[in-house]
Protein backbone atom coordinates (compact mmCIF):
# COMPACT_ATOMS: atom_id res chain seq x y z
CA UNK A 1 0.00 0.00 0.00
CA UNK A 2 2.89 2.37 0.65
CA UNK A 3 5.20 1.31 -2.21
CA UNK A 4 4.42 4.42 -4.31
CA UNK A 5 5.03 6.66 -1.29
CA UNK A 6 8.34 4.95 -0.51
CA UNK A 7 9.43 5.57 -4.12
CA UNK A 8 8.47 9.24 -3.69
CA UNK A 9 10.57 9.33 -0.51
CA UNK A 10 13.62 8.14 -2.45
CA UNK A 11 13.15 10.97 -4.97
CA UNK A 12 12.60 13.54 -2.22
CA UNK A 13 15.71 12.39 -0.35
CA UNK A 14 17.77 12.70 -3.56
CA UNK A 15 16.52 16.27 -4.01
CA UNK A 16 17.31 17.09 -0.38
CA UNK A 17 20.81 15.61 -0.72
CA UNK A 18 21.40 17.76 -3.79
CA UNK A 19 20.18 20.84 -1.90
CA UNK A 20 22.46 19.99 1.01
CA UNK A 21 25.45 19.88 -1.38
CA UNK A 22 24.41 23.21 -2.86
CA UNK A 23 24.05 24.81 0.58
CA UNK A 24 27.64 23.76 1.39
CA UNK A 25 28.83 25.28 -1.89
CA UNK A 26 26.86 28.47 -1.28
CA UNK A 27 28.27 28.83 2.24
CA UNK A 28 31.81 28.57 0.87
CA UNK A 29 31.26 30.89 -2.09
CA UNK A 30 28.94 33.31 -0.22
CA UNK A 31 26.75 33.26 -3.34
CA UNK A 32 23.52 31.39 -4.08
CA UNK A 33 22.94 30.01 -7.55
CA UNK A 34 19.41 31.11 -8.45
CA UNK A 35 18.48 28.29 -10.83
CA UNK A 36 19.21 25.49 -8.35
CA UNK A 37 17.35 27.17 -5.51
CA UNK A 38 14.33 27.97 -7.65
CA UNK A 39 14.29 24.40 -8.99
CA UNK A 40 14.32 23.07 -5.43
CA UNK A 41 11.51 25.37 -4.30
CA UNK A 42 9.39 24.29 -7.28
CA UNK A 43 10.17 20.64 -6.52
CA UNK A 44 9.24 21.04 -2.85
CA UNK A 45 5.97 22.79 -3.63
CA UNK A 46 4.82 20.54 -6.46
CA UNK A 47 6.35 17.10 -5.95
CA UNK A 48 6.81 16.93 -2.18
CA UNK A 49 3.79 18.90 -1.04
CA UNK A 50 1.06 18.87 -3.66
CA UNK A 51 1.69 15.41 -5.03
CA UNK A 52 3.32 13.33 -2.28
CA UNK A 53 1.73 14.94 0.78
CA UNK A 54 -1.51 15.12 -1.19
CA UNK A 55 -1.46 11.34 -1.60
CA UNK A 56 -0.80 10.85 2.10
CA UNK A 57 -3.41 13.35 3.29
CA UNK A 58 -6.20 12.38 0.88
CA UNK A 59 -5.58 8.66 0.48
CA UNK A 60 -3.32 6.95 3.02
CA UNK A 61 -4.16 8.77 6.24
CA UNK A 62 -7.98 8.48 5.87
CA UNK A 63 -7.58 4.76 5.15
CA UNK A 64 -5.39 4.28 8.21
CA UNK A 65 -7.83 6.22 10.38
CA UNK A 66 -10.64 4.03 9.12
CA UNK A 67 -8.60 1.03 10.31
CA UNK A 68 -8.14 2.46 13.81
CA UNK A 69 -4.88 4.41 13.69
CA UNK A 70 -5.66 7.71 15.43
CA UNK A 71 -5.12 11.15 13.97
CA UNK A 72 -5.33 13.24 17.14
CA UNK A 73 -2.72 12.26 19.65
CA UNK A 74 -1.31 9.71 17.24
CA UNK A 75 1.25 9.38 14.48
CA UNK A 76 -1.00 10.74 11.73
CA UNK A 77 -1.46 13.99 13.63
CA UNK A 78 2.31 14.32 13.98
CA UNK A 79 2.80 13.78 10.24
CA UNK A 80 0.13 16.37 9.38
CA UNK A 81 1.77 18.87 11.72
CA UNK A 82 5.13 18.26 10.04
CA UNK A 83 3.54 18.74 6.60
CA UNK A 84 2.44 22.18 7.83
CA UNK A 85 5.92 22.93 9.14
CA UNK A 86 7.36 22.02 5.73
CA UNK A 87 4.93 24.35 3.99
CA UNK A 88 5.85 27.16 6.36
CA UNK A 89 9.57 26.61 5.77
CA UNK A 90 9.15 26.63 1.98
CA UNK A 91 7.12 29.83 2.25
CA UNK A 92 9.89 31.39 4.37
CA UNK A 93 12.48 30.15 1.88
CA UNK A 94 10.61 31.74 -1.03
CA UNK A 95 10.46 35.09 0.77
CA UNK A 96 14.11 34.92 1.85
CA UNK A 97 15.21 33.98 -1.68
CA UNK A 98 13.18 36.82 -3.14
CA UNK A 99 14.93 39.26 -0.80
CA UNK A 100 18.36 37.78 -1.51
CA UNK A 101 17.92 37.90 -5.29
CA UNK A 102 16.45 41.41 -5.25
CA UNK A 103 18.99 43.16 -3.02
CA UNK A 104 21.70 40.64 -2.10
CA UNK A 105 20.84 40.55 1.61
CA UNK A 106 19.79 37.58 3.70
CA UNK A 107 22.24 34.92 2.54
CA UNK A 108 22.34 33.33 6.00
CA UNK A 109 18.54 33.31 6.26
CA UNK A 110 18.22 31.42 2.96
CA UNK A 111 20.87 28.88 3.96
CA UNK A 112 19.47 28.39 7.46
CA UNK A 113 15.94 27.81 6.17
CA UNK A 114 17.32 25.31 3.65
CA UNK A 115 19.10 23.45 6.45
CA UNK A 116 15.97 23.48 8.63
CA UNK A 117 13.91 22.06 5.77
CA UNK A 118 16.51 19.37 5.03
CA UNK A 119 16.50 18.30 8.68
CA UNK A 120 12.70 18.29 8.93
CA UNK A 121 12.20 16.26 5.76
CA UNK A 122 14.81 13.65 6.64
CA UNK A 123 13.35 13.12 10.12
CA UNK A 124 9.82 13.12 8.74
CA UNK A 125 10.57 10.50 6.10
CA UNK A 126 12.37 8.30 8.63
CA UNK A 127 9.29 8.36 10.91
CA UNK A 128 6.98 7.48 8.04
CA UNK A 129 9.22 4.73 6.64
CA UNK A 130 10.07 3.17 10.00
CA UNK A 131 6.91 3.70 12.05
CA UNK A 132 3.79 4.95 10.28
CA UNK A 133 3.93 3.01 7.01
CA UNK A 134 4.55 -0.37 8.71
CA UNK A 135 1.62 0.37 11.05
CA UNK A 136 -0.58 1.00 8.03
CA UNK A 137 0.58 -2.11 6.20
CA UNK A 138 -0.38 -4.19 9.25
CA UNK A 139 -4.01 -3.04 9.38
CA UNK A 140 -5.18 -2.67 5.77
CA UNK A 141 -7.25 -5.05 3.69
CA UNK A 142 -6.68 -5.96 0.04
CA UNK A 143 -9.59 -3.69 -0.87
CA UNK A 144 -7.96 -0.82 1.03
CA UNK A 145 -4.80 -1.35 -1.02
CA UNK A 146 -6.74 -1.22 -4.30
CA UNK A 147 -8.68 1.88 -3.28
CA UNK A 148 -5.58 3.64 -1.99
CA UNK A 149 -3.63 2.99 -5.19
CA UNK A 150 -6.51 4.32 -7.28
CA UNK A 151 -6.63 7.39 -5.04
CA UNK A 152 -2.84 7.91 -5.41
CA UNK A 153 -3.16 7.88 -9.21
CA UNK A 154 -6.05 10.36 -9.10
CA UNK A 155 -4.15 12.75 -6.81
CA UNK A 156 -1.00 12.56 -8.95
CA UNK A 157 -2.95 13.26 -12.15
CA UNK A 158 -5.04 16.05 -10.60
CA UNK A 159 -2.16 17.79 -8.82
CA UNK A 160 0.66 17.62 -11.37
CA UNK A 161 -0.12 15.21 -14.21
CA UNK A 162 1.98 12.29 -15.38
CA UNK A 163 4.41 14.26 -17.57
CA UNK A 164 5.00 16.89 -14.89
CA UNK A 165 5.51 14.17 -12.28
CA UNK A 166 8.26 12.59 -14.42
CA UNK A 167 9.82 16.00 -15.08
CA UNK A 168 9.92 16.71 -11.34
CA UNK A 169 11.49 13.29 -10.63
CA UNK A 170 14.28 14.20 -13.06
CA UNK A 171 14.57 17.70 -11.56
CA UNK A 172 15.41 16.12 -8.19
CA UNK A 173 18.79 15.16 -9.67
CA UNK A 174 19.37 18.56 -11.30
CA UNK A 175 19.14 20.79 -8.25
The rounded percent of the chain whose pLDDT value lies above 70 is 100
3-state helix vs strand vs coil in the chain, percent to 5: 85, 0, 15
| Contact predicate 107/30, CB 8 Å | yes
Q: Identify the pLDDT of residue 65.
A: 96
Q: 1.20.120.520, 1.20.210.10, 3.40.640.10, 1.10.510.10: which CATH number matches 3-171?
A: 1.20.120.520
Q: What is the pTM of this model?
A: 0.97
Question: What CA–CA distance (Å, rounded) separates 53 from 38?
Answer: 20
| pLDDT tens profile 86-143 | 999 999 999 999 999 999 999 999 999 999 999 999 999 999 999 999 999 999 999 9
| pLDDT tens profile 60-95 | 999 999 999 999 999 999 999 999 999 999 999 999
Q: Identify the pLDDT of residue 50.
A: 96
| Contact predicate 155/55, CB 8 Å | yes
Amino acid sequence: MTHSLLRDHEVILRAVARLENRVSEWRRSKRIERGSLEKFIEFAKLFTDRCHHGKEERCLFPCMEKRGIPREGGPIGVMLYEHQLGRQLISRLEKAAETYFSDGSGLDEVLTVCEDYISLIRQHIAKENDILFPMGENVVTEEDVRQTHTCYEEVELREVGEEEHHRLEKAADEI
